[in-house]
Amino acid sequence: MGDETIKKARKKAQRESQQESPADPPAEPAQKEAEEGPKPARSKKEYDIAIFSGWCKGCGICAAFCPRQCIEMGEDGSPVVTQPDRCTGCGFCEIHCPDFAISVRPRRKKAVGDDE
């Protein structure tokens, strides 16, 4: 039970951060850097992990072997992308998915699934 509450809290935090981010003004990167200091990891390319649930059988390989822990197994036994921002686009989940149900793609300006 303890694990579940942690997961839920994490998901909630995730949702909140996602809702907040589009509201933020894009801001000049230079200004942002001056405020928060350089963040080399965040200036890298960003990726989106799309899981096609129609083909997914919930084997858990993607969640178990993701080197950045972007994917977690949900309560219903299907994988959920909990931390897409941590994804480095290595593609491990994509080539190891036995059901061809995952695709990792570079994030577009307005990511698919983001709320307006």
For binding to other proteins (CB under 8 A), which residues are involved? 47, 54-61, 64-65, 89-91, 94-106
Cβ proximity to other proteins: between 32 and 50 the closer is 50
* Residue closer to other proteins, measured from CB, 33 or 103: 103
Alpha helices by DSSP H, 1-116: 2-23, 29-36, 40-43, 61-65, 92-96
The minimum distance between CB 103 and other proteins, in angstroms, equals 4
DSSP 8-state symbol, 99: T
Cα–Cα distance measured from residue 6 to residue 14, given in angstroms and rounded to the nearest whole number: 12
Min separation Cβ 66 and other proteins, Å: 12
